[in-house]
Amino acid sequence: MTRRSMVYLVASMVLLTLSGSVFAGPDEDRVAARYMIKRTARVIRVAHRQVNEHKVYTGDLSKAVAHQKFARQLFQNAEYTRAMNQTKVARRFAVRAITANKGVVPQEGNFTSGELSMTKNGPSDEQLSRELHAAMPAEPMQDDAVIKLGADIDVK
């Protein structure tokens, strides 16, 4: 088993453990948010390849990237719950971009029960979009711009 696989396995176990706990602390939230953001980043990379290859521009890729960048910013500011809600929306948009471009949605495109549990009481997608536009008004919202610029969407 590679180091990367081991890290994801441990993160998955932690996330499953946390899914039943309403008393998750900041360290657990940080691990869960990082795991969720990394899974979304993999889905966005697949969406990026599909849109670049098939050229079906729906705007969903750019929305996915914008929400993911905001999730990353929130994560770096230790706002883990907000980051998880933003990355959840980003993943939904990425899956829509993949589907519109006749691609195969990777396994990470599906939410785990732990991810759903930790974000079930989050704000609506519309509210998350308003929050994004208020915080990052200059973010490009065209797929072709995202294809040309690329995106830094992952956390370390």
**pLDDT at residue 15 in the model:** 56
Cα–Cα distance, 54 to 77 (Å, whole number)? 36
Name the token pair of 154. 């992952």
Sign, Cα dihedral of 109, 114, 116, 121:
negative
User: Phi-psi region for residue 150, left (φ > 0), alpha (ψ -120 to 50) or beta?
Assistant: left
pTM of full prediction above 0.95: no
102 conformational bin, left if phi > 0, alpha if psi -120 to 50, beta if neither: left
The pLDDT of residue 21 is: 45
Residue 134 backbone zone (phi > 0: left; psi -120 to 50: alpha; other: beta):
alpha
Over the chain (156 residues), the average pLDDT of each successive run of 10 is 63 56 69 96 95 93 94 96 97 97 95 95 94 86 73 63
Alpha-carbon distance of 111 to 92, in angstroms, equals 10
Token pair listed for 118: 């930790």
> Does residue 89 contact residue 125 with C-beta atoms inside 8 Å?
yes
